[in-house]
């Protein structure tokens, strides 16, 4: 045990440290704002602590939605001198992230995420600059819109595998969705087929991504707001659990990045590797003997592709099931369209897409109704800026409030209702144009998700196939009565539906036969 006097002395030291940090940052802000412009509106800060208690640590979407209703298009928070700007309207997001993208494309450095958890290698978290551009170039070459169709055969295969798993064990929905999402990404990125259960690659990635979803939002850990705490915070001090958590998360993070890449690299040298993102990227290098730096860039691009793709696809497909359970009329309309266009003779294919506008609309509405990343990854302002008479200091963390934008009643009538009809006039394909508000479901400006075309294609084929052969209905209790519930979602950077009662069964003998036939094709 430590003496009381020692504990009080350490506590007093931290108070002085925080106070000095606040004073220094306020002095820097005054020097940078010669016009003495006001900051954007926001809740009134407390002395020293600022808006510490206004930062959401759970239920982020609802918390920032309420603040957006109170303060409008954007609101401003400051905690220990660190500024956070939350953007709540599509117009403002387009103005800052698109039209001023050179100044709003940077990332802040998170002590927890970068230094303690080891994510500094991820180009999604990199500072905006030449190193980021080198990573982005590799990613763009392999996942641009014109290349996306090359992945369709593999995506169809994984969609069929999902049908078989749901037919045989419909009660294991979460397991199947995670397996499908992980399987397609591992196949595309590394050419690796994962085990049906307890795959080591999947297990290590789940642990790494669990840490990321908990740590990525501003203010999730105090050490991000006062980085010097890392130097002076002893592991025994109350609240120092962040160090122990970070150690475990870092270990999983680096294993997720390195283990599958090393496997493929060894297979490539021995001539046993199959075509995939990693082998294609290495083959595209100018030299026969790749330099370590080039291999590191490919390794890191592959790791972030898996991290982003697996978790987001799982969330989106589970959200689709929840939406159908709570809106049975959507399923009826979708199955009528599928039966009219395809009938009961085969499963949907990508070539059917132009003839299935309602299925396209469902995909759009799933992305809108519950965006995978309600707040996305925060950007950072590179240089001081002025917007509508407000001063936005350099170094300000800028958060796109995607959930609020996609539930803006000025853009979407009855925004909390799941209604694919709203997209029927624009549902033929998804171009993700920056002028379309739905584009924010994949990020903002130059930091938009580069794998969005492949990801959306996997969601489309999976949804079309599931609706063609399954009836998805609410779960029932022991008396056979339909169970009622309110849709609910997890907190964190990646948002998942919380468990809900459902029932999945084949639409008839034709559906069972079609699903069984996919096993023969796969073999």
Q: Residues annotated in the binding site, as ranges? A: 449
Identify which of 149, 168, 173, 147 has the alpha carbon closest to the alpha carbon of residue 518: 168
Q: Are 240 and 234 in contact (CB under 8 A)?
A: yes
Identify which of 377, 257, 301, 291 has the alpha carbon closest to the alpha carbon of residue 132: 301
Q: Which two tokens stand for residue 404?
A: 């609020």
- The C-alpha atoms of residue 299 and residue 121 are separated, in whole angstroms, by 9
Q: Dihedral of the CA atoms 34, 40, 46, 48 (nearest 10)?
A: -40
* Number of neighbouring beta carbons within 10 Å of residue 116: 22
Q: Are 58 and 29 in contact (CB under 8 A)?
A: no
- The C-alpha atoms of residue 447 and residue 353 are separated, in whole angstroms, by 28
Identify which of 303, 79, 110 has the alpha carbon closest to the alpha carbon of residue 214: 110
Chain-centre distance for alpha carbon 172: 23
Question: Which residue has 């109170």 as its token pair?
Answer: 70
Reported for 386-389, long-range contacts at CB under 8 A and 24+ positions apart, including other chains, are: 386/35, 386/37, 387/40, 387/92, 387/95, 387/96, 389/37, 389/38
The sign one gets for the Cα dihedral 364, 368, 371, 374 is: positive
Binding residues for heme: 449
8-state DSSP, 36: -
Q: Which two tokens stand for residue 299?
A: 């390794």
The strand pairing partners of 386, in sequence order, are: 391
CA angle 11, 14, 17 (to 5 degrees): 155
CA angle 304, 319, 308 (to 5 degrees): 0
Q: Which two tokens stand for residue 149?
A: 């169709």
- The C-alpha atoms of residue 26 and residue 82 are separated, in whole angstroms, by 9
397 by DSSP, 3-state: which?
strand
Exposure of 346 by Cβ count < 10 A (0-12 exposed, 13-18 middle, 19+ buried)? Answer: exposed
Question: Which residue has 């799933």 as its token pair?
Answer: 366
First to last CA, the chain: 64
Q: Where are the beta strands (DSSP E) in 80-117?
A: 82-87
The strand pairing partners of 385, in sequence order, are: 392
Q: In what order do the strands lie in the sheet with 82-87?
A: 74-79, 82-87, 397-400, 379-380
């Amino acid at each position: 045990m430590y003496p009381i006097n020692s504990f009080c002395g350490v506590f007093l030291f931290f108070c002085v440290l925080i106070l000095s940090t606040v004073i220094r940052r306020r002095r820097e802000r005054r020097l940078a704002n010669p016009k003495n412009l006001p900051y954007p509106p926001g809740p009134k800060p407390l002395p020293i602590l600022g808006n510490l208690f206004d930062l959401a640590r759970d239920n982020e979407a609802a918390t920032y939605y309420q603040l957006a209703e109170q303060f409008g298009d954007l609101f401003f928070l400051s905690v220990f001198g660190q500024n956070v700007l939350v953007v709540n309207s599509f117009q403002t997001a387009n103005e800052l992230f698109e039209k001023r993208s050179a100044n709003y494309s940077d990332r802040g450095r998170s002590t927890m995420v970068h230094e303690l958890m080891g994510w500094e290698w991820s180009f999604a978290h990199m500072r905006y600059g030449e190193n980021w551009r080198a990573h982005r170039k590799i990613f763009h070459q392999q996942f641009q819109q014109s290349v996306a169709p090359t992945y369709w055969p593999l995506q169809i295969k994984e969609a069929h595998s999902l049908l078989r798993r749901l037919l045989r064990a419909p009660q294991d929905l979460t397991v199947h969705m995670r397996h499908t999402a992980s399987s397609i990404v591992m196949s595309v990125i590394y050419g690796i087929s994962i085990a049906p259960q307890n795959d080591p690659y999947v297990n290590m990635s789940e642990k790494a991504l669990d840490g990321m979803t908990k740590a990525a939002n501003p203010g999730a850990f105090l050490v991000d707001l006062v980085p010097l705490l890392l130097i002076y915070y002893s592991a025994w001090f109350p609240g120092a659990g962040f160090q122990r958590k970070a150690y475990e998360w870092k270990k999983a993070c680096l294993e997720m990045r390195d283990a599958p890449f090393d496997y493929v690299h060894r297979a490539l040298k021995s001539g046993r590797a199959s075509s995939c993102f990693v082998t294609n990227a290495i083959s595209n290098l100018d030299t026969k003997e790749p330099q370590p730096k080039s291999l590191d860039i490919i390794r890191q691009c592959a790791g972030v592709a898996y991290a982003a793709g697996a978790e987001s696809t799982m969330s989106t497909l589970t959200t689709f099931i929840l939406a159908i359970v709570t809106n049975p009329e959507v399923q009826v309309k979708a199955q009528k369209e599928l039966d009219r266009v395809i009938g009961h003779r085969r499963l949907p294919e990508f070539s059917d897409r132009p003839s299935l506008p309602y299925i396209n609309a469902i995909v759009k509405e799933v992305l809108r109704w519950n965006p995978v990343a309600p707040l996305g990854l925060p950007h950072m302002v590179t240089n001081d800026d002025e917007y509508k008479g407000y001063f936005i200091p350099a170094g300000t963390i800028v958060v796109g409030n995607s959930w609020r934008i996609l539930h803006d009643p000025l853009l979407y009538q009855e925004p909390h209702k799941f209604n694919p009809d709203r997209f029927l006039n624009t549902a033929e394909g998804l171009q993700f144009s920056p002028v379309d508000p739905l584009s924010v479901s994949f990020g903002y400006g130059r930091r938009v998700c580069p794998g969005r075309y492949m990801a959306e294609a996997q969601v489309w084929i999976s949804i079309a196939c599931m609706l063609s052969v399954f009836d998805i209905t609410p779960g029932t209790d022991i008396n056979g009565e339909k169970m009622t519930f309110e849709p609910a979602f997890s907190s964190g950077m990646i948002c998942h539906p919380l468990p809900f009662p459902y029932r999945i069964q084949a639409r008839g003998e034709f559906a069972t036969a079609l699903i069984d036939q996919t096993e023969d094709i796969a073999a």
